[in-house]
């Protein structure tokens, strides 16, 4: 399971990152938040699918 978070940069952009190694730069903290949520949801869905088919 992934746990994604965000960090706001000094220049106003934001980085979304996850302990699994995933990372994305975004122009705004809101966009980074959204990307972090999406990453977490997608990762959880992939895990559930793996468990169901293996």
Residues binding Zn ion (CB under 5 A): 2, 18, 20, 22, 43
**Which residues contact residue 42 at a Cβ distance below 8 angstroms, ignoring those fewer than 6 apart?**
none
Nearest approach, Cβ of residue 49 and Zn ion (Å): 15
Of the pair 2, 31, the CB lying nearest Zn ion is at 2
**Which residues contact residue 23 at a Cβ distance below 8 angstroms, ignoring those fewer than 6 apart?**
15, 16, 17
Of the pair 20, 27, the CB lying nearest Zn ion is at 20
Of the pair 3, 8, the CB lying nearest Zn ion is at 3
CB atoms within 10 A of CB 34: 14
């Amino acid at each position: 399971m992934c746990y994604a978070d965000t960090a706001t940069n000094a220049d106003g952009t934001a980085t979304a990152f996850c302990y699994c190694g995933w990372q994305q730069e975004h122009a705004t903290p809101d966009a980074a938040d959204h990307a972090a949520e999406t990453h977490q949801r997608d990762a959880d869905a992939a895990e559930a699918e793996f468990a169901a088919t293996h």
